[in-house]
Structure 1
Amino acid sequence: MHRNTLYYGDNLEVMREHIPDESVDLIYLDPPFNSARDYNVLFKQAKKDENQAQITAFTDTWQWSKRRYDEFFDDPRNARLFLLIDALHKILDGSEMMAYLLMMTPRLLEMHRVLKPTGSLYLHCDPVASHYLKVLLDVIFGPTRFRNEVVWKRTSAHSSARRYGPIHDTIFFYTKSDTFAWSQQFTDYREDYVEKFYRHAEPDTGRRFTLSDLMAAGIRRGSSGQVWRGIDPTARGNHWKFIIETLEELDSIGRIYWPPKGGTPRYKRYLDEMHGIPLQDIFDDISPIGAHAAERVGYPTQKPLALMDRIISASSNEGGVVLDPFCGCGTAVVAAEKLGRKWIGIDITFIAVDLMIARLASDFGLRRDKDYDIKGDPKDAYSARKLFEQSPKQFEIWAVGLAEGVPQPDKSGDKGVDGKVYFQDAEETLQWAVCQVKGGHLTPSMIRDFAHVVEREKAAMGFFICLDKPTKGMYAEAEEAGFFTVGRRRIPKLQIRTIKGLLRQDKLFERPEGYRLKSGSGNRLVREKDQGKLEL
């Protein structure tokens, strides 16, 4: 049974590693790309460290990289897209748009993989990139799987110099097959339409109604062609739409209107019994979130809950699984929960996940770990600190993995060893460095104690990992430990690194080059050069 889950991390990695084939009923995504918007600042109160992962995701990741282009073509799974990507590259060259499209392509492939055969995808974008994205979707899903280009009027007016005001977004609707979930949605009748066509009202209840014919063209021989209440439909070349027995029943409950001055009776259709107008592909009845709206959470790309309600209601059934791989503040997740769907939300920063945790608690009283799961790796120092505050053990495991170590499985008996990093020395003898992780207050005595742990464990080196900035005294204590010699190279025996430095990969632990034991490699020594290429 599916369990609702929030992931923080790269959605490409999450989909590849955690979401099975054909397991999702509906995907809604709003990938943030717009040259006119600033995605570096998520919240007014956010500090620089707090949004570093989002800055990386929304800016640096999309700057053109020849390595990314080459790696895409090296992957045989992308054969169907070779011609398209190559053509786009020749046109767009090394632009940010090309980098963005190359970033989106493998993610859309994964989305197609995880969708059920009856599943649907809605991609929300603006005119800056919509035409390129539609070509990608046509290749990945097939042009016959395109259902609609929905236009959402996202604002009432916008003043722009020397062009028409840009006031709409585009939502592409694709399905994985010709058999898909669909529930017709309706919109309310316009006020002028109601005034014109539902101008009658019951004197006692005020219920509005319109009138429709009780007769249809053509002569019938049966009951519907008989005389009723002195009116002969056959003489007029018509027949009753109902048999005589039904006409009597309708009249008895007041559903037939008799003109006060005589004439042909008519059938009453009440406004409150009508579904409304079948929804068309222009959404102009859902307003953007105002500055003082109750649902506003301060997220720059937040979409109205009504928009998510409409999409989820139309293209999924109760109990179905909804995936939002760029979930931001989680409006799609909130709508899915509200409508009785299962859900998966993914975001690259814990700032967004933290906000979703708060919304699920305030809107539904849901609690993490009890009512839903949270999985994934922090991508910045702020997210790492949040992980430490919520689960010190999970933070410890993650931090050891950041140093490419093997975590200590049992917290109760670690004796100051949170993990080990294995490697070979110049004689190809197996060696190791012990890891110790600290998320709280730091003192020089911690390094002195750690030096004793390194010695007791007969480790070649010791790697000390901390959240906060180490003190000068700590560095002085580390220098007292001396060096580990490999050939002519002298490597500090006891090293201190911060989470921030490890995440940025500009302050990594020094160790012998050549061979190392990678965490999760099944205790197998692997060459550094054989680790494989970075995935898109």
Structure 2
Amino acid sequence: MTNRLYYGDNLDVLREQVKDESVDLVYLDPPFNSNANYNILFKSPTGTSSDAQIEAFEDTWHWNDHAEEAFDQVMQSGNTQAFELLRAMRGFLGDNDMMAYLTMMAIRLIELHRVLKPTGSLYLHCDPTASHYLKLLLDGVFGADKFQNEIIWKRTGSHGGSRRWGPIHDTILFYSKATEPFWNRIYQDYEESYLRDFYRFSDERGSYRLVTLTGAGTRNGDSGAAWRGVDPTVSGRHWAVPTSSLARAYPDQSMVGLTTQQKLDLLDQANLIYWPPRGSIPQQKRYVDEGEGVPVQDVVTDIGPISSQAQERLGYPTQKPLALLERIIAASSNPGDVVLDPFCGCGTAVHAAQKLGRQWLGIDITHLAITLIEKRMKAAFPGIAFTVEGTPKDLASAVDLATRDKYQFQWWAVSMVDAMPFGGKKKGADGGIDGLIYFKPDGKKTEKAIVSVKGGDNVGVQMIRDLHSAMEREKAPIGVFITKALPTSVMEREAAAVGRFQSTATGKSYARLQIITLAELFQGKKPDIPYVDPTAGMKRAAREDTATQATLL
């Protein structure tokens, strides 16, 4: 299976593109926050959300005809247990935003169950707003006996709560398709308090703890025989030699045929036995470096949120740490397995999957997210090969997208010129800034080019003047005007009158205001800009609006 990104509704993509029992692991972080609009992806440098983005997403998860249709689809799915739960929830909640969210999730969870292999697992990441309802839905879709864990992730150090406990955690619900899913035992580092409490002894080799050398119950044979005057059966036990410690101490020596007492002698020779000053049974010294760590626990406190200075930070409000996704993927899949994220957002799950040698599928309903993931993956894995499905591949499909959804068209067009989406103020007031291209005209200092996209049939010279005004205000040396309609001769003259930009590094001049048509984009035309730095936008996004983004994590 080829690594793929899909632009589109994940329900449609799952039904049309993903085969039965073809996925090993599903991770999903479906957006829901009753106090915020869905998927407000970027903030402007001034900290204000793009009005266009709010308008594009504010109608998501409301009870409407789409929610009613999803409710009927669950009824017709054949999963009577899931539908009865959903029907009971509707009777309790009524037709509100939460019910719309649960209904939309129910039909998608049914599809995700279908595409999972029998040994597959699903991890659903959510906050306490809806986790209790989602757990019931998962019980209905997967079966209550397929519940494996409720994982608590401490997502922030502290959070104010004037009349309640500070909310600092997210919930991850872990379900499997079969009763015993595939599982890799994963270890995490010991906490300092654990080391302090248990590894209290030390010698020239390092810190160690004392571990019993006996097991419960008496046995016949050499495991019950006395060794160096110590009889374990006196306390109703027998010798239990730690074979792993013995193998580490003597990697080239076979232990086959040795008696229990001979193995204990070898341990003692390796200085791995502690002899108490008075007649107690000797114990094993287990050093810190012998242990693999603590098996992963269902309370995750050793992976913090993405800090404002973290290299991986993309400025995406709900971005999760790469380490958290790596732990999940390492535990529930093997290299070569297929990982699916149907709400892939900024692409942390597919990034982790690629890093760990898994195949992956990512789905998102916005071109903005797909574009961000494309840039992220190419920056993290130079030369990576993957396909993007659902985005315009020719002029006709681009025109169709412009007609159906002007915002998605704008974000797609911005991606075609390697620009970063820009969340500015209300369109028109700022000249319609849709994207920014960062470049280094002198090879050192980073400048920006402003991108404005027009998908309508009527364009005029005032649009060129608006873009020029935005360039002057933002001190941008270059502006790029992308248009579906052909520009008029007056527009071309107005653009030419803006003048040219001289690059000291290349010794060449460049048109300050450039017009590119859709047809030219598909012919491969790009903005004529010196020293384009395609990763600068991602680095800048990671720095901007630090305080506002941190409150959203």
TM-score w.r.t. the length of structure 1 is 0.67
Code of the aligned partner of 1:43: F
* Mapped contact 1:49–1:382 kept (Cα < 8 A): no
Equivalent residues in 2 for 1:296-445 (5 A)?
Answer: 296-367=313-384, 371-377=385-391, 380-386=408-414, 389=417
2:315 is the alignment partner of 1:292: no
Superposed CA RMSD = 3.5
Code of the aligned partner of 2:30: P
* Mapped contact 1:50–1:351 kept (Cα < 8 A): no
User: 1:81-128 CA deviation, whole Å, 9 max, x = no partner?
Assistant: 443333333333331112222222221121111111111111111111
Match of 1:502 in 2: none
Code of the aligned partner of 2:136: V
Match of 2:63 in 1: 64
* Mapped contact 1:54–1:349 kept (Cα < 8 A): no
Q: CA deviation at 1:20?
A: 0.9
* Mapped contact 2:199–2:209 kept (Cα < 8 A): yes
Worse overlay, 12-21 or 354-363: 354-363
Code of the aligned partner of 1:375: E
Summarize the Cα distance change of 1:373–1:253 in structure 2 as closer, same or farther, 3 Å threshold. Answer: same
Match of 1:410 in 2: none
2:188 is the alignment partner of 1:187: yes
- Output the CA distance in 2 between the equivalents of 1:317 and 1:372: 20
Summarize the Cα distance change of 1:156–1:37 in structure 2 as closer, same or farther, 3 Å threshold. Answer: farther
Equivalent residues in 2 for 1:13-92 (5 A)?
Answer: 13-39=12-38, 41-45=40-44, 56=56, 58-66=57-65, 68-70=67-69, 72-73=71-72, 77-79=76-78, 80=80, 81-92=82-93
* Mapped contact 2:5–2:370 kept (Cα < 8 A): yes
- Output the CA distance in 2 between the equivalents of 1:307 and 1:284: 11
Summarize the Cα distance change of 1:234–1:39 in structure 2 as closer, same or farther, 3 Å threshold. Answer: closer
Equivalent residues in 2 for 1:449-460 (5 A)?
Answer: none
SS at match of 1:61: coil
* Mapped contact 2:153–2:169 kept (Cα < 8 A): yes
- Output the CA distance in 2 between the equivalents of 1:196 and 1:358: 46
Summarize the Cα distance change of 1:264–1:190 in structure 2 as closer, same or farther, 3 Å threshold. Answer: same
SS at match of 1:314: helix
* Mapped contact 2:3–2:361 kept (Cα < 8 A): yes
* Mapped contact 1:72–1:78 kept (Cα < 8 A): no
- Output the CA distance in 2 between the equivalents of 1:272 and 1:183: 21
Q: How many matched pairs? A: 403
- Output the CA distance in 1 between the equivalents of 2:235 and 2:353: 55
- Output the CA distance in 2 between the equivalents of 1:135 and 1:374: 34
- Output the CA distance in 2 between the equivalents of 1:360 and 1:332: 11
- Output the CA distance in 1 between the equivalents of 2:4 and 2:299: 32
User: 1:314-347 CA deviation, whole Å, 9 max, x = no partner?
Assistant: 1112211000111111111111111111111111
- Output the CA distance in 1 between the equivalents of 2:240 and 2:60: 65
Code of the aligned partner of 1:382: Q
User: 1:348-393 CA deviation, whole Å, 9 max, x = no partner?
Assistant: 12222222122212222144xxx11111136512233146558xxx
Q: CA deviation at 1:186?
A: 2.9
Match of 1:241 in 2: 240
2:133 is the alignment partner of 1:132: yes
- Output the CA distance in 2 between the equivalents of 1:62 and 1:192: 44
Equivalent residues in 2 for 1:207-226 (5 A)?
Answer: 207-216=206-215, 220-226=219-225
- Output the CA distance in 2 between the equivalents of 1:236 and 1:109: 56
Summarize the Cα distance change of 1:372–1:174 in structure 2 as closer, same or farther, 3 Å threshold. Answer: same
SS at match of 1:323: strand
Q: CA deviation at 1:443?
A: 9.4
User: 1:286-331 CA deviation, whole Å, 9 max, x = no partner?
Assistant: 2111111222110000011111111111111221100011111111
- Output the CA distance in 2 between the equivalents of 1:235 and 1:49: 74
Q: Which runs of 5+ in 2 are unaligned?
A: 242-259, 392-400, 419-454, 462-481, 492-516, 519-553
Code of the aligned partner of 1:385: A
- Output the CA distance in 2 between the equivalents of 1:84 and 1:346: 27
Summarize the Cα distance change of 1:340–1:67 in structure 2 as closer, same or farther, 3 Å threshold. Answer: closer
Worse overlay, 106-115 or 194-203: 194-203
2:95 is the alignment partner of 1:94: yes
- Output the CA distance in 2 between the equivalents of 1:264 and 1:76: 66
TM-score w.r.t. the length of structure 2 is 0.65
Q: CA deviation at 1:66?
A: 3.9
Code of the aligned partner of 1:279: V
- Output the CA distance in 2 between the equivalents of 1:36 and 1:27: 27
Match of 1:10 in 2: 9
* Mapped contact 2:341–2:349 kept (Cα < 8 A): yes
Summarize the Cα distance change of 1:30–1:276 in structure 2 as closer, same or farther, 3 Å threshold. Answer: same
Q: CA deviation at 1:160?
A: 1.7
* Mapped contact 1:73–1:82 kept (Cα < 8 A): no
Code of the aligned partner of 1:246: K
- Output the CA distance in 1 between the equivalents of 2:144 and 2:215: 42
- Output the CA distance in 2 between the equivalents of 1:211 and 1:128: 45
- Output the CA distance in 1 between the equivalents of 2:8 and 2:24: 22
SS at match of 2:60: helix
- Output the CA distance in 1 between the equivalents of 2:146 and 2:234: 52
Selected match of 2:294 from 246, 263, 277:
277
Summarize the Cα distance change of 1:469–1:38 in structure 2 as closer, same or farther, 3 Å threshold. Answer: farther
Q: CA deviation at 1:216?
A: 4.6
Summarize the Cα distance change of 1:167–1:256 in structure 2 as closer, same or farther, 3 Å threshold. Answer: same
Summarize the Cα distance change of 1:137–1:230 in structure 2 as closer, same or farther, 3 Å threshold. Answer: closer
- Output the CA distance in 2 between the equivalents of 1:470 and 1:72: 47
Worse overlay, 267-276 or 16-25: 267-276
Q: CA deviation at 1:246?
A: 0.7
* Mapped contact 1:49–1:381 kept (Cα < 8 A): no
- Output the CA distance in 2 between the equivalents of 1:341 and 1:260: 54
Summarize the Cα distance change of 1:235–1:97 in structure 2 as closer, same or farther, 3 Å threshold. Answer: closer
- Output the CA distance in 2 between the equivalents of 1:141 and 1:46: 44
SS at match of 1:158: coil
User: 1:250-287 CA deviation, whole Å, 9 max, x = no partner?
Assistant: 22222223457886533111112223333332222221
Code of the aligned partner of 1:372: F
* Bigger Cα Rg: 1
* Mapped contact 2:43–2:49 kept (Cα < 8 A): no
Worse overlay, 68-77 or 120-129: 68-77
Q: CA deviation at 1:21?
A: 1.0
* Mapped contact 2:160–2:166 kept (Cα < 8 A): yes
* Mapped contact 2:42–2:49 kept (Cα < 8 A): no
SS at match of 1:211: strand
SS at match of 2:77: helix
Q: CA deviation at 1:218?
A: 5.5
Match of 2:114 in 1: 113
Match of 2:124 in 1: 123
* Mapped contact 1:145–1:176 kept (Cα < 8 A): yes
Summarize the Cα distance change of 1:466–1:355 in structure 2 as closer, same or farther, 3 Å threshold. Answer: closer
Q: Percent identity among equivalent residues? A: 50
Worse overlay, 100-109 or 237-246: 237-246
